[in-house]
Amino acid sequence: MPEKTIKELESDFEQLHEQLLRGELEEDDFKAEVEQLRYKDDLGRQWKIGWYTGKWYRHDQGQWVQGTPLERQDIDEPATATPLPAEAGQRRRPVTYWLVGALVVLLLVASVVLVVGWNTDWWSGSPAPIAEVTATEAASPTPPPAAPTSRPATVVPSPTATIEPTATPRPQPTSQPTATTAPTSNTDSEVTATTTAANTPTSTSTSSPTASPVPSRTAPAASTAAPARASLSGRIYFPVYDPDPARRTFDIYAVRLADGEREIVVGQASQPAISPDGERLAHRSWDRDQRGLSVLELTDGHSWRWIEFSEAARPSWSPDSQNIVFPSRQESDRRWRVYRTIGLEFTLIRRHGGDIFGRVPIWLSDGRIVYWDCPLDKCGLYVMKSDGTGLVRLTTAEHDTGPAASPDGRQVAFMSNRSGNWEVYIVDSNAAEGTEPTRLTQNAARDGLPAWSPDGKWVAFVSDRDGAWAVWAVRPNGSGLQKLFAFGGPLEGEVAYAQPGEQEDWTSETIAWGP
């Protein structure tokens, strides 16, 4: 039987997906059927369609990498005009010459008519009338029409307003807000003027971007947030706990630093991680039916689950934005191990044939991985290659945690209570063991969960130094400390349906700074 074409395979996927949504096909059967939708291109490369994304993936060096088959590119490209043969062009040249000549004659005739008409009006003393412009019209020109905006309409609820749930089919929602914004330019100058941020969160009028319906929730308490300064741009993603007895879960919010606009990005989720290209937001899902690690495509609002183990936590993106590394305690001994994805699958990272019992792993831009470990009571942050080799100890304190890599991979910010209180520090990613890290914060309150700005000029972190959780920013050299905005709600709380050991305190959370 001949191999099916790209269009036929995509049509088969759509039919299977509709059967899944109608409940005519079980999820496992759906996956098995989609796995059969494979295609080999003219170069001998194997392609398949992703279960939840519906996008094409190419098998490359042992892993599935998202891409577009050449045949699909040919289908998407608009047809172009076929150039004329040389002989046809030569036959048409005389016709072209005649047309040009006719146009020149017409222009000359029109010029003569205009000149004669103008002279007649001038000699008759009846010049052409000039339209009068009143003083009011001159002073008040008609304003240009407002430029259309691509962002969905938003509504700002009152402090007691609730967001109504919208039922959506699994495995993907029907609509989601986009999280992309137009960034403002960054400068190094200090800005002292401040503005007042929104008192209440802004939520989109479309359905919440989760893979299952979000129950009604109470908006976080109003707060008088210190504003983001004009020198900062991008969006900061952060979790807020909703203590409503009907929910008892986290939601991921985003604040646009240019104007302080706030909105819910993902419901029933926490531990946000933005991909290096700024197009994907990985997170931990607390949805009872979608536990594990999920991804929100910020370009089109599509959400899909990547890791289906509820114990999986704190995802971190690879430099190419195609894979994640994460810790999980899904094994029977409930010990934390370091995992990574390879395409749509995942595997343990091992060293000398043994598991790596580590936590809070993050990827550096050069492909290395930083994580926390405590081998032979030598606790601290370590750095290794992605295959587990080349181990080097970066820090030496037991409670050094929450690492965040600078965009160039040269520095690692982290939090530690090595001084008796939670503070933020920075260490060089190539530092020798025993190198003393640089301390960025010094306050009696709790400071932690660092995140770098996309340009690497700032480090954001959370703090409760004003009596409530807020996001602050400081330069990597410790200068320019400023408060950006308040959370508007708690950072910690017990999640409903979570099993013992699946959830920890605020130090296990993350924030992310994207474009």
Please give the pLDDT value at position 95. Answer: 45
Beta strands in 12-76 (DSSP E): 38-40, 46-49, 56-60, 63-66
486 and 349 together in one domain: yes
Is residue 128's pLDDT more than 90?
Answer: no
Number of domains in the chain: 2
Please give the pLDDT value at position 505. Answer: 92
In angstroms, how far is the first alpha carbon of the chain from the final one? 49
Residue 409 lies in a domain: yes
Q: How confident is the model at residue 71 (pLDDT cuts 50, 70, 90)?
A: confident
Cα–Cα dist 461/455, whole Å: 16
Contacts of 180 (CB under 8 A, 6+ apart): 278, 298, 299, 515
399 and 510 together in one domain: yes
- Find the helix or strand (DSSP H, E) in which 266 lies: strand 261-267
29 and 165 together in one domain: no
Q: Of 49, 75, 101, which residue constitutes the final position of a domain?
A: 75
Please give the pLDDT value at position 129. Answer: 39
Q: Which two tokens stand for residue 136?
A: 């009011």
pLDDT 10s digits, 298-331: 999 999 999 999 999 999 999 999 999 999 999 9
239 and 332 together in one domain: yes
Does the predicted TM-score (pTM) go above 0.75?
A: no
Is residue 485 within 8 A of residue 470, CB to CB? The reply is yes
Residue 407 lies in a domain: yes
Q: What is the CATH number of the domain that holds 322?
A: 2.120.10.30
Full 3-state SS string of 188-246: CCCCCCCCCCCCCCCEECCCCCCCCCCCCEECCCCCCCCCCCCCCCCEEEEEEEECCCC
Is residue 371's pLDDT more than 80?
Answer: yes
Helix, strand, coil share of the chain (percent; to 5): 15, 30, 55
Q: How confident is the model at residue 261 (pLDDT cuts 50, 70, 90)?
A: very high
pLDDT 10s digits, 402-419: 999 999 999 999 999 999
Q: Of 60, 75, 90, which residue constitutes the final position of a domain?
A: 75
The 3-state DSSP class for residue 94 equals: helix
Residue 230 lies in a domain: yes
265 and 383 together in one domain: yes
332 and 457 together in one domain: yes
Arithmetic mean of pLDDT over the chain: 77
Is residue 458 within 8 A of residue 471, CB to CB? The reply is no
Is residue 432's pLDDT more than 50?
Answer: yes
Instruction: Print the domain residue range for 375.
Output: 159-514
Residue 114 lies in a domain: no
How far does Cα 198 stand from its chain's mean position? Answer: 22
Q: Of 75, 105, 131, which residue constitutes the final position of a domain?
A: 75
Cα–Cα dist 506/237, whole Å: 15
Residue 83 lies in a domain: no
pLDDT 10s digits, 442-493: 999 999 999 999 999 999 999 999 999 999 999 999 999 999 999 999 999 9
Report the b/e string of 78-87 with b at 16+ CB within 10 A: eeeeeeeeee
Contacts of 250 (CB under 8 A, 6+ apart): 239, 240, 241, 242, 268, 269, 270, 286, 493, 495
Cα–Cα dist 173/193, whole Å: 41
Phi, psi of 350 (to 5 degrees): -120, 160
Residue 360 lies in a domain: yes
Residue 317 lies in a domain: yes
Is residue 160 within 8 A of residue 167, CB to CB? The reply is no
Cα–Cα dist 127/116, whole Å: 14
163 and 71 together in one domain: no
Averaged over 192-199, what is the pLDDT? 35
| Cα torsion 113, 114, 120, 126: sign | positive
Q: Which two tokens stand for residue 427?
A: 């260490």
Whole-Å CA distances, 59 to 46, 64, 162:
6, 5, 46
Averaged over 247-265, what is the pLDDT? 96
Residue 134 lies in a domain: no
176 and 71 together in one domain: no
Q: How confident is the model at residue 76 (pLDDT cuts 50, 70, 90)?
A: low
Bridge-based pairing state of the strands 345-348 and 337-342: antiparallel
45 and 169 together in one domain: no
Is residue 315 within 8 A of residue 271, CB to CB? The reply is yes
Contacts of 341 (CB under 8 A, 6+ apart): 306, 307, 323, 324, 325, 347
pLDDT 10s digits, 215-239: 444 445 444 444 445 479 999 999 9
170 and 69 together in one domain: no
